Amino acid sequence: MTSAERPEPEAVDLGGVAGLVLDVDGTLIDSVYERTLAWKRAFATVSAHPPTWRLHRLVGRDGRAAVREIAAGLGADWSEAEVAEIRRRYEAAYAQSSATVRPLPGARDLVRALDASGRRWAIATTASRAATEDALRVLGGVRPHAVVAGDEVVRGKPDPEIVRTAAARLGLTAPEVAFVGDTVWDVMAARACGADAIGVLSGGWSREELRAAGARIAVTGVVELVTALQGTRSY
Amino acid sequence: MTSAERPEPEAVDLGGVAGLVLDVDGTLIDSVYERTLAWKRAFATVSAHPPTWRLHRLVGRDGRAAVREIAAGLGADWSEAEVAEIRRRYEAAYAQSSATVRPLPGARDLVRALDASGRRWAIATTASRAATEDALRVLGGVRPHAVVAGDEVVRGKPDPEIVRTAAARLGLTAPEVAFVGDTVWDVMAARACGADAIGVLSGGWSREELRAAGARIAVTGVVELVTALQGTRSY
């Protein structure tokens, strides 16, 4: 058994954090692999077949930048209209497969604990508002103090706009919040505006990759944050 | 952009290697994500819902050990018959989705170059003989000097039996071959019998994880080996 396959838990310290901002896909719901194959189906409709592992690594990134990155790898020269059409097909393919998507371990406990605590917390995701509302339903109809979806910002992650906007809607600055996410795009977005970054392994990135991007800590999943919250009186 | 998302190429040196042994899934064909969701569907049929990223990391591992690992994580106590049934459903689910599976970049060039060179090369995979024959058809009907499939050995990877058997069928010892694979299970199997291990990133594991398991080198994919073979007169 390797450390990567069943990594040792790391201790989470949320002291000094005034608000918590959470990513959705790969962090609260177990949707990254369905999203990966949705990208694969979308690209196949334009006869493009990038290696699937590269699509996996684009989940959670700004959609337009993701398609441009794949185009560069393939040497494709898609127009803005074609890029928009591939993104539309990706959203449609994901919507078709999302019925099998479930909360990740601890996710419902985490959002319920946050709901009950009266603490400031927000959702910040590159996904569309519609997909985000579906995800919140999967989580049991929780009520974050703020939701920032991908179609409300000019640039998705790794641009910090989405994290900064979420912090502002909580009445906080970015350095006062901790952002929890599963991808290097999440970590980079958080670090670019001075927010604390907590990585989770539940999206399939390795601990080393998340830490190299700037995560203070990388835990196996949000289930480890539930314990940390219960042990922390204020943060 | 991070190093993990678009890693820098590493130079491959195949000097001193008498034979090449190749993994299939995630190495020659782009099937790891379909296999991951096939595991997800198989476990769902027994109302088990492990996080998908853990299933991703079990692809390529001995099937019985993989199911036992998931059982341990869930606290499930499945009988041998139940484990066998989950594995059967996994194979059936993968067979249903495998029509979309294509060769990885460079895979056809690599096996064609090996075929033409007269060099000793073999396939060594945890997948079943039937799935392996399907994969060889996807690659264009190549003729390796030996094929060792998962149902021909007592223990799949990371046990070294599969690599040692492949080397023996080439008339070589394990330390005389290089084994190319995408998972830490491949790397561990190779290192456990003294074979050289070359990692490829096309299964979704990170370079750091493959190197930590003992890979001498980790390249983005077999496309980089084609170049190395063309530049090497003998190996």
Complete DSSP assignment for A14-26:
-TT--EEEE--BT
| CB-nearest partner of A201 from B26, B53, B204 | B53
pTM above 0.90, yes or no: yes
Structure tokens at B216: 């001498």
Residue B132 has pLDDT above 70, yes or no: yes
Tell me the shortest Cα–Cα distance from B171 to chain A, in angstroms. 30
Show residues of chain B in contact with A202, CB under 8 Å: 51, 53
Q: Which residues on adjacent β-strands are paired with residue A216?
A: none
Question: Cα-Cα-Cα-Cα dihedral of A64, A66, A67, A68, to 10°?
Answer: 80
> What region, left, alpha or beta, does residue A169 occupy, with left being phi > 0 and alpha being psi -120 to 50 degrees?
alpha
Tell me the shortest Cα–Cα distance from A201 to chain B, in angstroms. 8
**Rounded CA gap, A64 and A83, in Å?**
7
> What region, left, alpha or beta, does residue B123 occupy, with left being phi > 0 and alpha being psi -120 to 50 degrees?
beta
Average pLDDT over all residues of chain A = 91
- Residue B14: its pLDDT value, please? 79
Better pLDDT: B198 or A142:
B198
A132 to chain B, any CB pair closer than 8 A? The answer is no
B49 to chain A, any CB pair closer than 8 A? The answer is yes
Distances (CA, A) of A27 to A65, A203, B184: 21, 7, 24
- Residue B6: its pLDDT value, please? 53
Sign (positive or negative) of CA dihedral B11, B21, B102, B51: negative
> What average pLDDT score do residues B92-114 get?
92
A89 to chain B, any CB pair closer than 8 A? The answer is no
Residue A130 has pLDDT above 80, yes or no: yes
A184 to chain B, any CB pair closer than 8 A? The answer is yes
> What average pLDDT score do residues B189-203 get?
98
Show residues of chain A in contact with B30, CB under 8 Å: 51-52
A232 to chain B, any CB pair closer than 8 A? The answer is no
Helix (H, G, I), strand (E, B) or coil at B131: helix
- Interface pTM, i.e. ipTM: 0.92
Distances (CA, A) of A196 to A29, A133, A174, A216, B49: 21, 25, 8, 7, 31
- Give, in degrees to the nearest 5, the angle at Cα A83 between A82 and A86: 85
**Rounded CA gap, B9 and A211, in Å?**
21
- Residue A232: its pLDDT value, please? 54
> What average pLDDT score do residues B210-232 get?
89
A44 to chain B, any CB pair closer than 8 A? The answer is yes
Cβ neighbours of residue B128 under 8 Å, at least 6 residues apart?
A: B91, B149, B150, B151
- Residue B8: its pLDDT value, please? 58
Average pLDDT over all residues of chain B = 91
**Rounded CA gap, B126 and A38, in Å?**
27
pLDDT, tens digit, 9 for 90 and up, residues A185-230: 999 999 999 999 999 999 999 999 999 999 999 999 999 998 777 7
| CB-nearest partner of A5 from B33, B184, B206 | B184
Highest mean pLDDT among A120-134, A145-159, B191-205: B191-205
Strands B120-124 and A146-148: unpaired
Helix (H, G, I), strand (E, B) or coil at A3: coil
Do the chains contact at A51 and B30, CB–CB below 8 Å? yes
Residue A167 has pLDDT above 90, yes or no: yes
